Amino acid sequence: MGDFVRAKDWSETPLGPLFGWPQSLRSAISICLGSRFPIVIYWGAEFVVLYNDAYAQILGSKHPQALGKRCRDVWAEIWDVIEPMLQSVVATGQATWSDNQLLVLKRHGFPEECYFSFSFSPVRSEDDRVGGVFTAVIEHTQRIVGERRLVALRDLGSRSMEAKTAEEACVIAAKTLCEHAKDIPFALLYLINGNEQLARLAGAAGVALDDAISPLVLRFSPGTADGQPWPLIEVVHSDAMQVVEDLACRFGNAVPPGPWSDPPRQAVVLPIRSNISRELAGILVAGVSARLELDELYRSFYELVASQIATAIANASAHEAEHKRAEALAEIDRAKTAFFSNVSHEFRTPLTLMLGPLEDALASSALPSGERDRLTVAHRNSLRLLKLVNTLLDFSRIEAGRVQAVYEPTDLAAATAEFASMFRSAVEKAGLSLVVDCPPLPEPAFIDRQMWEQIVLNLLSNALKFTFQGEIEVRLRFTAGHFELSVRDTGTGISAQELPKVFERFHRVAGAHGRTHDGTGIGLALVQELVKLHGGSVSVESEHGRGSLFKVALPMGCSHLPAEQMGAKRTLPSTALGAPHFVEEALGWLPEAGQVDERGIEHIAARQSQNAAPAERAHILLADDNADMRDYVRRLLASRYEVEVVADGEAALSAIARRKPDLVLSDIMMPRLDGMELVSRLRADPQTNTLPIILLSARAGEESRVEGMQAGADDYLIKPFSARELLARVEAHVKIARLRRDAEQALRDEQERWELAAHVGRFGQWHLDLVTRAVDLSASCKAIFGLPPEEQASAERLFSLIHADDREAVAIRLTEAVETRTAYEVEYRVVWPDGSLHWINSRGSATYAPDGTALQMVGVTLDITERKRGEEHLRMLVAELDHRVKNVLATVSAVMSRTQEAAGSVADFVAAPDGRIQSMATTHQLLSSHLG
């Protein structure tokens, strides 16, 4: 800049030529030019402009013409602001200070929003007057605009969290943008509906709705590009920001002015991305401030605004979806409650009509005892059904808020002890002791007596159901303003992970070991609801295998209860069945005295049937945890079959181990070991894998049937079943089992005969799998190889038994036979494991797959050791004879030649050898007989 100042012809300026400048100006200029801080000097009455390199940046396009010009000409657009300041410095000799001062400069061809901090300081001239003004300037435009944008983004982020729907998110975002008009003079937020290929205006800032610039709907279906105010299609397709120039030309006066006197000239259109890839949630149209340059920083600010809005929309949509899901669930829940309520109601009528006549019939003294037994079972089970239905009804009434408790001051200790002691007989019959510890309490409790009865009885019956030894304790105390009931048992307990769920309705602990599998999982949920109606709470502590402790706490007094229900009349008839029914149901879980042994096995002496001889009576094992069901099915079957009855899967397994039945009839839901598990255990055991099993289940539906059959059951009967159906199925399966058994026996007999024949004929059968090389030998074949019958010999083992000298020949012959599809026959020696040598003849023939692969070879093996020994003997004999005949012939020929030499006449020649030959014949005879 120094060169620049020196090179300029100053004679044309109000300062005159350089050499005439006063020292004060020279000094000021030298400081200015030597500084890297933006500094400008306004000198003389005309405030002639002199500046350094750093200040040239602030001048923008005004540099270099500004040098030496009058300030009023250089800064015409702000002269009205700075002139008074300059004049005051000259007049008073006092410096001014301006901090973050907004000055709208036209340094880049348009009025620009700029911020500066500066100080005008006097520079004294030689005559001690103010000769000029020295100005140090800092520009803050970027910092101030940047901070402002950060605030806008922060506001967008924080406020939009409140939105519950996408539309609401747009409205909140638009409202926030309204407060940041200097950066976003106007904004339009459109939400895209991809199905309809359009975008709907969901929020607007700084602009009226449904104007030329802000139509309510924008379309982006093909062919709609023309006539659209904003380039929606381009944004959707490019998924990138588009800049729209010259708004005045597009929209005329409709362009909103924003915070400045001149309206925006440009706008940007940006995609608002959704959380589904390649789908847009919406479009943001935003005006570009007329006082700011659309530079990189401004563009990325818009991108950030769009992504903040996208996050807000995504959050709101997720919230909306969640809300809808919760609503739908609540609706289903309401529907379920209504359904239970209706269904339970509908059940009650037919049940009442069943119970009435049954009770009438049972009241008659003329009833034969067999009939009475049958009707008693029907009555007991109808009551059980009624209890289930009532529990459901009570529960749905409570859920629907339709139940009205009637609270009365009650001696809680007496009432609790009374309800508990009704269970005494059942508890003691189960071999447990019942401890009732309910000392008198200092004051009465406000309770609904029937509800309290339900609470106590439900907890007690659960305790009995899940306790097999030890005791059940019912305890009542008054502590810290509360009545506390505890029902403690020494039963099977509840595992830690199940504990939090036991009060949920319909929750049952899978595989829980109880006296029965009967139950709906509603008892504890009902207890909890009933306790809540008393303003109390219920809790449980339990340890698996050690027992459980259920605690109910009720607040004292009645201030927590609705006054209008204090001693009021009931508006709904009570459905509670009371203690006798609970007790009766519990008694049904206990084995009948004398009928069940200590292992839970009930054995009913078979009654002779007229049409079946005792030897033919099939033996059926029935497993069911419900005593009435056991009784009923046993009664149905007893006339034709010998029936053994057990209460669960474990007992069934032990009964089967003692005596294998002809057929198993098993319930599915049973404590300890259920029917499915029983089936798989029986199928896994070779002793019982063909035992016919029929499953009985109350779980109707095709899947349950398929599940049962897949587990390996032979049949599946759904409760309720008719007596005829049960009998027919049992009979069919017993028959099939008999036929199967007979067939298996026949096969075994056949096998035995074959084995016998093989043994006698000393041949054995073998089978070689040519793919896996597995061998299967009959017992007689193993014997031929000197192997014990139980040994599972492998091909390698057999090969190792072949005499080392014969192995190769055997292998070659086998390969040859397979390859040439000829019969395999070979004789070889084997060395038995005891070291003795045996001869074997093996023959076989291969079978092939259609593609020519050799599959297997089946054959027989003969022990030919005897024959081989005979052959060897013969061979030795022949050799011996041959040897001896040759010897004899040699001797004879020697004798003859000697005789010939010695004989004088023919007669001599004839007579002489006779004696010799005679003696030789005698010798030979002797030898032969010896060899014989």
DSSP string for residues in 843-901: EEEEEE-TTS-EEEEEEEEEE-HHHHHHHHHHHHHHHHHHHHHHHHHHHHHHHHHHHHH
Minimum Å gap between C-beta 584 and ligand ADP is 16
**Is 282 one of the binding residues for ligand ADP (CB under 6 A)?**
no
Strands 601-603 and 642-646: antiparallel
**Calpha distance 465→468 (Å, rounded):** 8
Phi (first) and psi of residue 710, to 5 degrees: -65, -35
Instruction: State in angstroms the smallest separation of the CB of 420 from ligand ADP.
Output: 14
The identity of residue 207, as a single letter, is: V
Per CB under 6 A, 288 contacts ligand ADP: no
> Does the protein bind ligand ADP through residue 470 (CB under 6 A)?
no
Which string of x and - marks every residue 782-801 that binds ligand ADP (by CB under 6 A)?
--------------------
Interface with ligand ADP, residue 671, by CB under 6 A: no
Q: How far is the CB of 326 from ligand ADP (least distance, A)?
A: 25
Kindly tell me which of 259 and 519 has the beta carbon lying closer to ligand ADP. Answer: 519
CB of 547 to ligand ADP, least distance (A): 7
Comparison of 10 and 503: residue with beta carbon closer to ligand ADP: 503
Q: Does 32 bind ligand ADP (CB under 6 A)?
A: no
Query: How many contiguous H segments (helices) and E segments (strands) does the chain have?
Result: 26, 29
Residue 214's DSSP bridge partners are none
Regarding 427 and contact with ligand ADP (CB under 6 A), the answer is no
Nearest partner of 538 among 613, 451, 653, 617, judged by Cα: 451
Please give the Cα distance from 699 to 849 (Å, whole number): 47
Closest separation in Å from C-beta 458 to ligand ADP: 6
Strand partners, 437: 475
The C-alpha atoms of residue 453 and residue 461 are separated, in whole angstroms, by 12
Using the minimum distance from each CB to ligand ADP, give the nearer residue, 504 or 791: 504
Residue 389 sits in the site that holds ligand ADP (CB under 6 A): no
Q: How far is the CB of 160 from ligand ADP (least distance, A)?
A: 45
Is 576 or 892 the residue whose CB approaches ligand ADP more closely?
A: 576
Q: At CA 292, angle to CA 287 and CA 298, rounded to 5?
A: 70
Bridge partners of 485?
A: 476, 552
Cα separation, 426 vs 467, in Å, equals 12
Residue 347: CB minimum distance to ligand ADP, A? 17
Smallest separation (angstroms) from ligand ADP to the CB of 767:
54
Between 518 and 714, name the residue whose CB sits nearer to ligand ADP. 518
- Rounded to a whole number of angstroms, the minimum distance from the CB of residue 535 to ligand ADP is 21
Choose the stretch contacting ligand ADP; rule: CB under 6 A; options: 252-260, 271-279, 406-414, 485-493.
485-493
Q: In the set 98, 197, 266, 520, which binds ligand ADP (CB under 6 A)? A: 520
User: Is 666 within 8 Å of 678 (Cβ atoms)?
Assistant: yes
Nearer to ligand ADP, 473 or 863 (CB): 473
Q: Least separation, in Å, of the C-beta of 585 and ligand ADP?
A: 11
Cβ neighbors of 334 (< 8 A, separation 6 or more) are none
> Binding segment for ligand ADP among 37-45, 294-302, 486-494, 704-712 (CB under 6 A)?
486-494
Binding to ligand ADP (CB under 6 A): which residues in 538-567? 548
Evaluate whether 878 touches 853 at the Cβ level (below 8 Å). Answer: no
Q: Check residue 451 for interaction with ligand ADP (CB under 6 A).
A: no
Binding residues for ligand ADP, total number by CB under 6 A: 20
Q: Which is nearer to ligand ADP, 213 or 522 (CB)?
A: 522
Q: Give CA–CA dist 471/463, Å, rounded.
A: 9
Complex with ligand ADP: residue 510 or 605, whichever CB lies closer: 510
Q: What is the 3-state secondary structure (H, E, C) of 669-689?
A: CCCCCCHHHHHHHHHHCCCCC
Q: Is 626 in the site for ligand ADP (CB under 6 A)?
A: no
Judged by beta carbon, residue 472 or residue 775, the one nearer ligand ADP is 472
Instruction: Write down the least CB distance from residue 720 to ligand ADP, Å.
Output: 20
Residue 43 has a CB neighbour count (10 Å cut-off) of: 26
Long-range contacts for 239-243 (Cβ within 8 Å, ≥24 apart)? 239/271, 239/273, 239/278, 239/280, 240/271, 241/268, 241/269, 241/270, 241/271, 241/299, 241/302, 241/303, 242/268, 242/269, 242/270, 243/267, 243/268, 243/288, 243/294
- Between 424 and 797, CB nearer to ligand ADP: 424
Q: Which of 211, 191, 192, 195 has its CA nearest to residue 203?
A: 191
Is 522 or 618 the residue whose CB approaches ligand ADP more closely? 522
Candidates 28, 33, 42, 38; CA nearest to 4 is 33
d(CA 416, CA 574): 20
417 binds ligand ADP (CB under 6 A): no
- Using rule CB under 6 A, residue 466 touches ligand ADP: yes
Gap between the Cα atoms of 593 and 666, Å rounded: 23
Residue 521 touching ligand ADP (CB under 6 A): yes
What CA–CA distance (Å, rounded) separates 534 from 532? 5
Q: Which residue, among 482, 486, 488, 487, has the nearest Cα to 442 in the 3D structure?
A: 482
Burial class (CB in 10 A: 0-12, 13-18, 19+), 759: middle
Nearest distance from C-beta of residue 633 to ligand ADP, angstroms: 23
Q: Which is nearer to ligand ADP, 108 or 501 (CB)?
A: 501
Is the sign of the CA dihedral 370, 374, 375, 376 positive or negative?
A: positive
- Of 509 and 818, which CB lies nearer to ligand ADP in the complex structure? 509
CB of 344 to ligand ADP, least distance (A): 16
DSSP 8-state code for residue 790:
T
Which residues partner with 824 through β-bridges? 844
Contact status: 523 vs ligand ADP (CB under 6 A): yes
Which two structure tokens, joined as six digits, stand for 859? 């054959």
According to the binding rule CB under 6 A, does residue 531 interact with ligand ADP? no
Q: Which is nearer to ligand ADP, 130 or 426 (CB)?
A: 426
Among residues 463, 561, 601, 695, the one that binds ligand ADP under rule CB under 6 A:
463
Nearer to ligand ADP, 491 or 764 (CB): 491
Of 731, 514, 510, 710, residue with least CA distance to 609:
731
Find the binder of ligand ADP among 285, 430, 524, 645 (CB under 6 A): 524
Site for ligand ADP in 744-773 (CB under 6 A): none
Q: What is the number of residues in the chain?
A: 932
Which C-beta is closer to ligand ADP: that of 343 or that of 568?
Answer: 343
Residue number with CB closer to ligand ADP (264 or 547): 547
Task: Closer to ligand ADP by CB, 273 or 508: give it.
Answer: 508
Part of the chain binding ligand ADP (CB under 6 A), chosen from 15-23, 101-109, 519-527, 636-644: 519-527
Residue 358 Cβ, how far from ligand ADP at the closest point, in Å?
A: 25
The distance of closest approach from Cβ of residue 691 to ligand ADP in the complex, given in angstroms and rounded to an integer, is 31
Q: Does 522 bind ligand ADP (CB under 6 A)?
A: yes
Taking CB under 6 A as the criterion, which residues in 487-516 touch ligand ADP?
Answer: 489, 491-494, 502, 508-509, 512
**Helical (H) or strand (E) element with 668:** none
Phi, psi (degrees; rounded to nearest 5) at 125: -95, 180
According to DSSP, the residues that pair with 839 across neighbouring strands are 829
Q: Which of 462, 486, 842, 861 binds ligand ADP (CB under 6 A)?
A: 462
With CB under 6 A as the contact rule, which of the stretches 73-81, 108-116, 517-525, 766-774 interacts with ligand ADP? 517-525
Write out the residues near ligand ADP by the rule CB under 6 A. Answer: 462-463, 466, 489, 491-494, 502, 508-509, 512, 519-525, 548
